């Protein structure tokens, strides 16, 4: 039977439209049955977590599960009091974006993200949870790990530091022993006991140290004295020594010390970076501050253009959000992706660590799965 070209094209279009998914149907924005579930889970810290501004035994993080065409994606928000966030407010923000998520084409996530960022402005961790969930879904739908979708080489992941929170010298020494598999440690300081804590760490190990003051010092002269002493103790970089607003004082400090000063609380999004370039040597990017992958990538490009070093960090998070950040870790100089290792009830399994180096899974999307109940 002879089929005309017109008939042939007609047949092809019909079969693509009725076929089980497939590029043609997806490209036209076909949307299968959609489900979105939002829940709060309490993550328990192995040790009471103390940094310069507060102390906690648990964190309530908000998890987003999206499902379409039988494919599931997971996202997570880690609300942080420093940025005025709570689990309740984050849940409300995610719910506000629900109609956009339910109606949107997830494969066109760039457009869709702009819509939800407009709908829930200044809700960075809620935006991050949505972004992580949708990108996990995209990766699983296309059956490819996200790092591969981004064109990154999994063998180039950096070593992650393991963080030691503020504690008594005995507990600090115990924590250092527990962190024996990590070649570099990150020590939290920013209280009266800084010298005591760093000395306790040094008694237990001679590994390289990075120090995070979390805006805990308020006087530039005092900060200078402390950093010079830390340098002599083998500290290789200092994070956020002074409050975020003290940019001029940080520039003054930078002129006088030889180790890199990294901005964390002072930088959330790409637009924050140019004004920091003369005061800091690098920036700490977190998905929870940036609101997701796209802005984090933009931050990496802006920082590189300005000659800044890049650290990739996290909050106290499960393996969902930590595995998300790990996907882009081949692009950075320093990783501090240990939030999932600081909790005792991680509901997920994802990125792992071997002798400190991040090991990405070859599973699609984030490469995470729910931890089987024990």
Binding site for Mg ion (CB under 5 A): 212, 239, 264
Q: How far is the CB of 278 from Mg ion (least distance, A)?
A: 20
Q: How far is the CB of 110 from Mg ion (least distance, A)?
A: 29
Other CB atoms within a 10 A radius of the CB of residue 273 amount to 23
* Tokens matching residue 252: 């003054």
Give residues with Cβ within 8 angstroms of 29, minimum separation 6. 105, 107, 108
Q: How far is the CB of 240 from Mg ion (least distance, A)?
A: 6
Other CB atoms within a 10 A radius of the CB of residue 151 amount to 7
Contact predicate 94/78, CB 8 Å: no
CA distance 138 to 365: 7
- Give the residue nearest to Mg ion (CB): 264
Contact predicate 303/273, CB 8 Å: yes
Contact predicate 43/346, CB 8 Å: yes
Task: Name which of 80 and 90 has its Cβ closer to Mg ion.
Answer: 80
Burial of residue 34 (CB within 10 Å: 0-12, 13-18, 19+) is middle
CA distance 156 to 220: 37
Q: How far is the CB of 249 from Mg ion (least distance, A)?
A: 18
Q: How far is the CB of 111 from Mg ion (least distance, A)?
A: 33
Q: How far is the CB of 342 from Mg ion (least distance, A)?
A: 14
């Amino acid at each position: 039977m002879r089929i005309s070209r017109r008939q042939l094209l007609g047949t092809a279009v019909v079969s693509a439209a009725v076929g089980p998914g497939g590029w043609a149907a997806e490209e036209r924005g076909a949307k299968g049955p959609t489900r979105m579930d939002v829940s709060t889970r309490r993550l328990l810290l192995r040790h009471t977590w103390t940094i310069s501004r507060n102390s906690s035994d648990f964190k309530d993080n908000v998890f987003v599960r999206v499902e379409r065409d039988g494919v599931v994606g997971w996202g997570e928000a880690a609300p942080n009091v420093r940025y005025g966030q709570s689990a309740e407010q984050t849940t409300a923000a995610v719910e506000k974006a629900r109609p956009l998520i339910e109606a949107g084409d997830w494969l066109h996530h760039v457009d869709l993200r702009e819509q939800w960022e407009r709908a829930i402005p200044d809700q960075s961790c809620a935006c991050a949870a949505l972004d992580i969930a949708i990108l996990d879904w995209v990766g699983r739908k296309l059956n490819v790990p996200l790092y591969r979708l981004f064109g990154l080489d999994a063998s180039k992941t950096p070593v992650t530091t393991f963080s030691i929170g503020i504690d008594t010298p005995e507990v600090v020494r115990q924590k250092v022993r527990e962190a024996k598999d990590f070649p570099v440690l990150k020590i939290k300081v920013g209280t009266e006991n800084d010298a005591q804590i760093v000395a306790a760490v040094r008694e237990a190990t001679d590994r390289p140290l990075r120090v995070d003051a979390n805006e805990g010092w308020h006087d530039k002269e005092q900060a200078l004295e402390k950093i010079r002493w830390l340098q002599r103790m083998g500290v290789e970089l200092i994070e956020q020594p002074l409050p975020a607003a003290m940019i001029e004082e940080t520039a003054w400090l930078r002129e006088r010390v030889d180790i890199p000063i990294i901005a964390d609380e002072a930088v959330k999004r790409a637009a924050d970076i140019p004004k920091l370039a003369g005061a800091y040597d690098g920036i700490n990017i977190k998905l929870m501050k940036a609101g997701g992958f796209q802005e984090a990538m933009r931050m990496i490009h802006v920082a590189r253009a300005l000659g800044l070093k890049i650290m990739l960090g996290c909050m106290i998070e499960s393996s969902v959000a930590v595995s998300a950040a790990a996907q882009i870790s081949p692009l950075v100089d320093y990783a501090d992706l240990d939030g999932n290792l600081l909790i005792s009830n991680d509901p997920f399994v994802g990125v792992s660590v071997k002798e400190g180096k991040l090991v990405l899974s070859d599973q699609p999307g984030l490469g995470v799965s729910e931890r089987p109940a024990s």
